[in-house]
């Protein structure tokens, strides 16, 4: 698979509800851009936001209703200061919430990133390719398992 490992083709089966997405990124501007893009798309909405894995885990653990998908940046905060990167964070999320799909994203190609967790519900997308189709497809794939 090479650089495309974890990246999948989009399927056409419709979803019956709006996809609730948790956006985890340490840059508020990126979170705002995703929120605006999802609002324009209409099939998804940012229902929760976090700036770190620790904050995301806390929100998920306290949530009355889990989102349909976690969109998680790989390069979060200063790893040398103890921040958890997105790949380790994805593993932590699916360990606590095994049915919750996690889509990790980065501007760097997959082969330059830390190893991706080997879990059926963890997938990767380059940030420049993120759109409603990619998010909806990640949820469809997880629900098909």
Q: In this predicted model, what pLDDT tens digit does every residue of 59-100 receive, in sequence order?
A: 999 999 999 999 999 988 765 455 678 899 999 999 999 999
Tell me the Ramachandran region of residue 2: left when phi exceeds 0, alpha when psi lies from -120 to 50, beta otherwise: left
At residue 79, φ and ψ (nearest 5 deg) are: -60, -35
What pLDDT was estimated at residue 33? Answer: 92
Q: Give the end-to-end CA distance of the chain in Å, rounded to a whole number.
A: 21
Question: Alpha carbon of 39 to those of 17, 33, 47, 110: distances in Å?
Answer: 14, 10, 11, 28
What pLDDT was estimated at residue 8? Answer: 41
* Helical packing angle, 132-144 and 28-41, nearest 10°: 80
Q: What single-letter DSSP state applies at residue 69?
A: E
Residue ranges of domains in the chain, CATH in brackets: 17-144 (3.40.50.2300)
**pLDDT single digits (tens) 96-113:** 999 999 999 999 888 888
Sequence length of the chain is: 145
Q: Which residues of 88-98 are buried (b: 16+ CB within 10 A; e: fewer)?
A: bbbbbbbeebe
pTM of the model: 0.85
Classify strands 19-24 and 69-73 as parallel, antiparallel or unpaired. Answer: parallel
């Amino acid at each position: 698979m090479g650089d495309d490992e974890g990246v999948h083709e989009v399927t056409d089966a419709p979803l019956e509800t709006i996809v609730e997405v948790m956006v985890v990124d340490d840059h508020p501007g990126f979170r705002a851009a995703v929120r605006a893009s999802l609002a324009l798309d209409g099939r998804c909405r940012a229902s929760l936001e976090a700036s770190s894995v620790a904050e995301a885990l806390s929100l998920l653990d306290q949530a009355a209703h889990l989102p349909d998908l976690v969109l998680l940046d790989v390069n979060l905060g200063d790893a040398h200061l103890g921040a958890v990167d997105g790949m380790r964070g994805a593993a932590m999320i699916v360990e606590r919430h095994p049915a919750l799909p996690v889509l990790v994203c980065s501007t760097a190609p997959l082969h330059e990133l830390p190893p991706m967790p080997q879990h059926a519900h963890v997938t990767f997308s380059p940030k420049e390719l993120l759109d409603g189709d990619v998010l909806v497809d990640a949820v469809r794939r997880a629900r098909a398992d």
